[in-house]
Structures are given as structure tokens and as C-alpha cells.
Amino acid sequence: NAGVTQTPKFRVLKTGQSMTLLCAQDMNHEYMYWYRQDPGMGLRLIHYSVGEGTTAKGEVPDGYNVSRLKKQNFLLGLESAAPSQTSVYFCASSLTGAQHGSPLHFGNGTRLTVT
Amino acid sequence: GENVEQHPSTLSVQEGDSAVIKCTYSDSASNYFPWYKQELGKRPQLIIDIRSNVGEKKDQRIAVTLNKTAKHFSLHITETQPEDSAVYFCAANGGANNLFFGTGTRLTVIP
């Protein structure tokens, strides 16, 4: 049982380039999330999904897109990277969501640098 | 959305002493309050959580208290050890299925 797996672990992009971050979970969780972590700002929610085929915006969605074509995968895309998107990105999953007391399980993170 | 404030941002304690981290939240609909520990370069990991129908919860050396009226909750770590050194995050769900996080507290336990 691998839990939540993120790829890649590190990436450097030039301004304007695009990329996709992949998150996979093997716990049959319904909910999946993408957060970014910046120094002094905690974890901020980018987008989330409440089930296969669904996506919704979080606190800081601008410049990102997501897709959840399969229940176990949640993809985060950057169409045109900007230096402000330099951050550590964490994917998380939850069995039934926080409203039902279901905790979030995090992946190991992806460190992205945009130059 | 929910707004979670966390204090202090840094905390240093002597080994064996207690540490207390406090958080406030804005949305009275919040009903789930987890605490996460993040060691340097690692993922956040759940250490304890509490639901709104409970005022206090303990797990060995850690405890969480919740005051719904005042909209604040606290993490208490007793008999601190060097391995407790990490960044701790509180969170609240705003009545929804997402989590809104505080800005973190860097705890240093001095041997």
C-alpha cells in the first residue's frame, strides 16, 4: 500500500513552459486535493475533487488546471509557468472528506522552481 | 472561506517542558480540527484531530482542546523531546470537505 504518490519530485521550468504534476493514490479515496506550500504561508488549496470526473476551485486556483479522469489519479497542470508558481506542491487524499472527520493523507511533495 | 490564524510562529522549549500552540478560526460551521506535524523536507502527517462535538482529546503526550464559543483550539505537547522538533500546522474545515491551514509553528526542543 503506497498511499499517495507524487511525480516528479523536483522540476525546474522556464517562464512560459507548461508541465503536469501527477498524483496517484491506492487507498480508494473519494476526495483528492492539490495544495501549495510557501514559506510563512502554510498550505493553500489550489483545486480539489470530490470524486471521479469532478473538480472544483480552491483558494488559489489561478494559473492552474486539474483533471480527475480516474478515481486514483489527480493531475495538476500549469499551462504557462510564472516565477510566482515556484513552490512545493502537495497532493492529498481523503476517504470521505473533512466534514465527516476523514483526515487528509499527503504525498511527499513536488518542489517546482520557475526561472 | 475559513480563515485560520496560528500563534506563535516560532517556539523554543527546553526538553521535558510543555509546548502550547494556539489557533483561532472564523467560520462557526467548522466541525473538524486536525493538527499536522511536518519534519524538514517531509510531508505533513496527522498527529491528532478533534471534532466539534468533543471538547478535548488526548493521545499519550499530545492533547487538543476546542472552545467552540470562542472559536479557538490548541495543541498541547507535554514532556517534549528533541524528536518533537518540527513545524506544526492546525487546520479547520469551514463546514466543508476541504481543510484550511494555519501558517505553522516551528517548534524547537532544546536538549
pLDDT tens profile B83-98: 999 999 999 999 888 8
The pLDDT tens digits of the residues spanning B35-51 come to 999 999 999 999 999 99
What confidence tens digit (pLDDT) does each residue in A71-112 have? 999 999 999 999 999 999 999 999 988 888 899 999 999 999
Q: How far is A58 from chain B (nearest CA, A)?
A: 9
- A45 CB neighbours in chain B (<8 A) are 98-100
Task: Enumerate the residues of chain A whose CB falls inside 8 A of the CB of residue B66.
Answer: none
Q: Which of A90, A104, A105, A111 to mutate to test the interface with B (most CBs of B within 10 A)?
A: A104
- Percentages helix, strand, coil for chain A (3-state, rounded to 5) are 5, 50, 45
Q: What is the pLDDT of residue B96?
A: 85
Contact at 8 Å (CB) between B58 and B77?
A: no
Strand A10-13 and strand B86-92: the pairing is unpaired
Q: Count of CB atoms within 10 A of residue B35's CB?
A: 24
Among chain A residues, the shortest Cα distance to B51 is held by: A101
Interface of A with B (CB under 8 A): 31, 33, 35, 40-45, 48, 50, 58-59, 90, 94, 96-101, 103-109
User: Residue A38's closest chain B neighbor by CA?
Assistant: B103
Q: Are strands A19-25 and A73-78 parallel, antiparallel or unpaired?
A: antiparallel
In 10 A of CB B61, how many CB atoms? 13
pLDDT per residue over A35-70, tens digit each? 999 988 889 999 999 999 999 999 999 999 999 999
Q: ∠ CA(B78), CA(B26), CA(A93), 5° rounding? A: 70
Closest partner residue to A98 (CB to CB) among B32, B45, B89 is B32
CA–CA gap between residue A89 and residue B44 (Å, rounded) = 12
Residue type, B76: H
pLDDT for the residue B82? 96
